[in-house]
Structure 1
Amino acid sequence: MSFYHFARTVVKIVLKPKYKVKALGTENIPTEGPVIICSNHISNYDPPIVGITCPRPIQFMAKEELFKNKIFAFILNNVNAFPIKRGMKDRNALRKGLEVLKEGNVLGLFPEGTRSKNGEIKKGLAGAGFFALKSKATVIPCAIVGSYKSKEPLMVIYGKPVDLEPLRDNKSSAQEVTDTIMNEIKKIKENH
């Protein structure tokens, strides 16, 4: 068993019952080929929660500061996360993200770049649109609905793939593509 699968099993045992995690729409995630999962961001627990509900292993971008702690760095490196410098163009992280997709894997992104303090979905950064335009990946919008404090189940809902063809045809900017993805995430959240 790989460290990723071991960690996923441990997280599933601990977090799934604690937050009554329910996943919907996992059938929308292609079983093979490059995929970008774009989710809203409400808690530090979001990456492991998305990780345990997605049927395929995900490689997340994580803020560089998390890699400064040796224990966190060990765990993150072994679950295939990679660092990104926030607030600037990080060419290494962009290259690494494209490489993940080129290899036919799943890239996990939180386009807002940071957690939403009030649970409202904020404007996404252009990075998600960049990866969508520069790769042949299927983009799956994901909404985490609920609260980590409530007694209600925490829902992780995967939407249908975002249709990027009209955006590509119109030569849309990376920001416009991100805005479209964020609108899809908002729609999923509003419908649940």
Structure 2
Amino acid sequence: MFYAYLRGLVAFLLWLVNGNARYHHRDRILDQKENYILVAPHRTWWDPVYLAFATKPKQFIFMAKKELFTNRIFGWWIRMCGAFPIDRENPGQEAIKYPVKVLKNSDRSLIMFPSGSRHSTDVKGGVAVIAKMAKVKIQPAVYGGPRSFKGLLKGEPIDINFGQAIDISDIKRMNDTGIEEVAERIQTSFSSLDAENADCGRTKKLNPLTYIFRIPLGLIALILVLLTLLFSYLASFVWNPEKHRK
């Protein structure tokens, strides 16, 4: 419930700030009853929100570096939304076992950014191993749009594009050759989706006058954010999502 609320709140805030997003080929998204790994290049701080919003009502878990959990409120937020901490220097078996368990035994899917960090184009093998062990498909997507907060505020167009699901059941072993094959399929899909976004030819920014109508809504959003912060701070003392996850 909190996941859906926070996803909606942040998506609403992004709409107030930008409001110039379009979603392409949502019909390619796998059925809501089927679990999968949603993969995309990590390009901004906000692309995970657009991806999660585009695939609603599906809910996800996701990996996050352990340093993000040090802040009481933000750490509680992302735990409530299905994040689990990963030590990038020493990820361990939990980085594989936990998402595989969730994909097999729950109705939540997994969001992964196989490039690892923002602006990277490198495709890591973790997606392939998890998908193979959990026996799920890989759903590729890309974010196209502003990569700076300044561009977001200017209302530069945003395009979220989804590709055809990638079935890796034909790959028998996840050795170096198998992982390389999966990585190539993912990267090929990313490149194709980026090309489709480029063909959209959208360059028109949002009309600044539209922001006038958003000022009252912005005040409502500010109140909601403050109440959410207060609630989250108090709730973090009485509800431990980590214990609930276990």
Q: Which TM-score bucket, shorter chain as reference?
A: 0.7 to 0.9
SS of corresponding position for 1:113: coil
Corresponding residue of 1:95:
97
The CA deviation at 1:105 is: 2.3
TM-score (norm 2): 0.70
Q: What is the aligned length?
A: 187
CA distance in 1, matches of 2:90, 2:185: 22
Q: 1:110 aligns with which of 109, 113, 128?
A: 113
Cα deviation digits, residues 47-89 of structure 1 (max 9, x gap): 2221112121121111111011111111001111111121434
Give the conservation status (yes or no) of the 8 Å contact 1:129–1:176: no
Letter in 1 for 2:110: L
Larger mean CA deviation between 95-104 and 136-145 belongs to 95-104
CA distance in 2, matches of 1:181, 1:88: 25
CA spacing shift, 1:10–1:125, aligned 2, 3 Å: same
SS of corresponding position for 2:171: helix
CA spacing shift, 1:88–1:180, aligned 2, 3 Å: farther
Corresponding residue of 2:202:
none
More helix by share: 2
Q: 2:163 aligns with which of 138, 143, 159?
A: 159
Cα deviation digits, residues 127-147 of structure 1 (max 9, x gap): 111112212212110111121
- 1:176 and 2:177 aligned: no
CA distance in 2, matches of 1:170, 1:109: 18
Give the conservation status (yes or no) of the 8 Å contact 2:101–2:134: no
The CA deviation at 1:114 is: 0.3
Cα deviation digits, residues 114-164 of structure 1 (max 9, x gap): 000xxxx51111111111221221211011112141633211111111132
Give the conservation status (yes or no) of the 8 Å contact 1:127–1:178: no
CA spacing shift, 1:170–1:7, aligned 2, 3 Å: closer
SS of corresponding position for 2:37: strand
Letter in 2 for 1:41: H
The CA deviation at 1:98 is: 0.5
**Gapped runs of 5+ residues in structure 1?**
none
Percent identical pairs in the alignment equals: 25
TM-score (norm 1): 0.87
SS of corresponding position for 1:182: helix
Larger mean CA deviation between 172-181 and 47-56 belongs to 172-181
CA distance in 1, matches of 2:98, 2:144: 29
1:123-134 paired onto structure 2 within 5 Å? 123-134=122-133
Give the conservation status (yes or no) of the 8 Å contact 2:141–2:163: yes
Runs of 4+ in 1 over 6 A off after TM superposition: none
CA distance in 2, matches of 1:125, 1:36: 14
Corresponding residue of 1:145:
144
The CA deviation at 1:95 is: 1.1
**Gapped runs of 5+ residues in structure 2?**
198-246
Letter in 1 for 2:186: I
